[in-house]
Structure 1
């Protein structure tokens, strides 16, 4: 009887400890750094240096999509600038600057509207994350490119929050560079910035 009681106490302690590990952490995403693959692609594409304009939340999309994430078992992630649309802008600017293709006086301007931002550090089943935006290019005030792009990710999520939550945050954060890569690879986008 005593051994059964000890086992129950041990299991209860493990449960309480695991709930502590998965609860209520707040994480700020790191500032963007240039992605070597994106920078190389940009340098090889023979593009005109460009400015970067307004990045905002798309009309009709809930405000919390731009500044908070559910699906992290009570934990939260925020962008250094306070909004995920601004984080996306910062990623684009960082890569353009590293490639020598950023010019804030250019008549060509990249913009975007964030349409989706989500992550799920699933307790059972795969973890998932998604990031989506409508990108635009304007040249001297004329729209020359507009396209909705998205990236997503799926991975094996752990039952243990201390493992699952950091992995979900890493997977979500990586989507910003992936979405920038998808934009830079787009043939119509490249045509809009071609020399």
Structure 2
């Protein structure tokens, strides 16, 4: 009887371990917004953001036995697009009629919810065009580390909460590039 009881307890736990989880929604960074506001006068239209098929489709990220999915659309490229739109919109520099268009390609997107220390890494190519002229074309990357747990029930939710911070750091590195700021003005 004790063996049967243990099996009945482990079946739901094993089933939950293979579930899909959703990344936390993006929360715009106050620092990033301030940098954009200080760059005035700026008016930018946000174009398309796509996935680099060479590194996978970026529709989900493996988190131990789980898959983390984007809460925006069907990919993390759409998540990045939404993050850019949020920050540009709050900063008051987003304009659907702007002649300057920012687009991007998500190159790498990985979260390693390791035991002890977890790591999030993201890389994207950002392109700024004015008409047909490419004014900026550069790859930016960001990596963040945080404490993680042996227990997946703690490590997985923590990873989903940390993911937006990785994206904030990526966008901060973009906005800190003087060539990018010049290209959007």
Structure 2 length as normaliser, TM-score? 0.86
The residue number in structure 1 matching 2:98 is 106
1:68 deviates by: 1.2
Equivalent pair of 1:110/1:137 in contact (CA under 8 Å): yes
- Deviation of 1:167 (Å): 1.2
- Does 2:169 match 1:178? yes
Is there any run of 5+ residues in structure 2 with no aligned partner, and where? none
**Greater Cα offset, 92-101 or 177-186:** 177-186
CA distance in 2, matches of 1:34, 1:175: 12
User: For residues 125-173 of structure 1, what are the alpha-carbon distances to aligned partners after superposition, in whole Å with 9 as ceiling and x for unaligned?
Assistant: 4211101101010011110101110101122321111111111222223
- Say whether 1:120 aligns with 2:112: yes
Alpha-carbon deviation of 1:97? 0.7
2:82 to 66, 75, 90: 90
Q: Classify the secondary structure of the residue corresponding to 2:60.
A: coil
> Which whole-Å CA distance do the structure 1 matches of 2:18 and 2:177 have between them?
39
1:133 partnered with 2:124: yes
Distance in structure 1 (CA, Å) of the matches to 2:175 and 2:12: 42
Q: How many Å apart are 1:59 and its aligned residue?
A: 5.1
Q: Distance in 2 between matches of 1:86 and 1:174?
A: 16
Q: Secondary structure at the match of 1:60?
A: helix
Runs of 4+ more than 6 Å apart: none
Greater displacement, 161-170 / 81-90: 161-170
Over residues 91-122 of structure 1, what are the superposed CA-to-partner deviations in whole Å (9 max), with x where a residue is unaligned? Answer: 00111010110011111000111100011111
Aligned CA RMSD, in angstroms, stands at 2.4
Render the CA deviation track for 1:53-81: whole Å, top value 9, x for unaligned: 11001253322xx10111x1222221121
- Alpha-carbon separation, structure 1, partners of 2:163 and 2:104: 19
Q: Does 1:165 align with 2:165?
A: no
Length, aligned pairs only: 180
